[in-house]
Amino acid sequence: MKALILVLGIIVVLGCGNSDDGSVTISGKITLSGQQSNSGVKIAFYKLANLNETVVKINEQYPGIGVLATQKTDFDHRTIEAVKVSEIVTNADGSYSLKAKKGIYNFVVEKSGFGRTYQLDFDASKDQKLNFTLIPQDTLTGNIETDSVLTEGNYFLDETLTVKAGVTFTLQSGCQIEAETNSRINVFGTLNILGSLEKPVEIFNKTLDEKWNGISFKSGSVSHIDYLNLSGSFPLTYSSTQVDVKNSTFKNFGGFEISSSSTGLMEKCFLKDTNAENIIKLQTNSSLNFKNNILLMTVSSGYFAFSVRATSGSTASMEISDNCFIGSGLEISGGSTPFYIKKNLFQDIVDTKIYAIFLGANSSSVITDNNFVKNKQNINCYFDSSPTIERNNFLPHQTLVWNIYLSSGLHEGTFIGSTDVNAPNNYWGNIDTPSKNHDRSTAGVDVRSGRVLTQPEDPIQVNNGAPLLD
């Protein structure tokens, strides 16, 4: 397998004057390495992607949480949100001349078989010459049977790439991999993805409305991922494996499915939207240390579309700390091992079908030192769940329906009630907000439901160390 390097554009600023109408001209030449003709290369200006305001606030106030939201994490020129300003296609000699009003743009160069090149936050304040040499994509497929390193460049993932047991495959910073529909990466050995802040490894789908099959971490494999930008895939699956992920961005993908006694760390990542119900699904005796991440779900993909869902009925475990959940929360269903949920921010969770935290029957969780802000429904204790709820701030808001809901009713033909839930030393905000507790003390609630025991209550907001945005 070759390791090919994409030669990016060399910017040469010439002493050209600007147009009187407030526009500038960017011109130059595109060379397609090894080709007789340099035609068919698209060059275009796009407006900058709009960054989520809440995520930007998190970045400003808590720089140790998540990945810094930039054009690199959010811009994809193929999405419906991308606004094209101007475009031109090269002729055989590769020359081009593109005109636009003065401004800051994302500059895109692309051709099938040669990948794409972005010049992000490009300052088009004066006339400039930009020349590019594009090298054909190297194709990735088949088996990796000896230790291999992929260096900076453009690549095409075709069909299935398999890292064999006992083999280490390393992707270095600056690797860009365009994935064909139905392609996948199977890892039986070791996969090291070692990007950087300035040059993350990027893996994205070839066709925007068709997914690639993601990465499958198989039994016995060990993987380390740092600074990866991944998009457009079906779920990433863990099976009896260990995977540590840091400083990475995942968007418009099928989430993570973690099962069969897998273990791992996920730290300082930005996880945005999925094409599945959950961003992370944890089950079957697996464990995950999940900290300092930002999870953003701007659209609901169905009933109980939680960011994190742990559904095992076994000894799956998860420590969830110092994260920001925006738009969706957690579901913990069953299991004999407590889940530790501490120092997180749950905000803007307003879909009527989801909660900040949903605790399924017989689940056990320790919910301490969290902040609940601008949510419609905060904690649902389903039947005989037995959480510890302490030192949290439940901040009032006009969208609030209830802070704690104790479920009771028919379940598989049998009427089941709720046990009492102890929730001392929490700050409940303005007691006049609607339905502070939905339990037996609330008018109209079935007598089989338990009570939320809130005493003592904290009269002022708790300084619990969890994120709280200005």
Report the pLDDT value the prediction gives residue 14, as an integer from 0 to 100: 36
CATH fold, domain 10-17+24-47+83-134, is Immunoglobulin-like (2.60.40)
Q: Can you tell me the distance from the alpha carbon of 208 to that of 205, in angstroms, rounded to the nearest whole number?
A: 6
What integer pLDDT is reported at residue 20 of this predicted model? 63
Residues 6+ apart with CB under 8 A from 364: 335, 336, 337, 338, 339, 385, 386, 387
pLDDT at residue number 420: 87
Please give the pLDDT value at position 2. Answer: 40
Using one digit for the tens of pLDDT, what is the confidence trace for 295-350?
998 755 554 557 888 765 556 788 999 999 999 899 887 666 788 999 999 999 99
Structure tokens at 316: 């799956």
Residues 366, 61: Cα–Cα separation, whole Å: 26
Find, among 338, 346, 447, the residue nearest to 394 by Cα: 346
Look at residue 364 in the predicted model and tell me its pLDDT: 81
Check: CB of residue 331 under 8 Å from CB of residue 353.
no
CA–CA dist 311, 288 (Å, integer) = 13
Exposure string over 428-467, b if 16+ CB within 10 A, otherwise e: bbeeebebbbbbbebeebeeebbbbebeeebeeebebebb
Q: Where are the domains positioned within the chain? A: 10-17+24-47+83-134, 297-470
Task: List the chain residues with pLDDT less than 50.
Answer: 1-17, 303
CB-count burial class (<10 Å; 0-12, 13-18, 19+) for 113:
middle
Beta bridge partners of 411: 414
Q: Cα separation of 331 and 334, whole Å?
A: 10
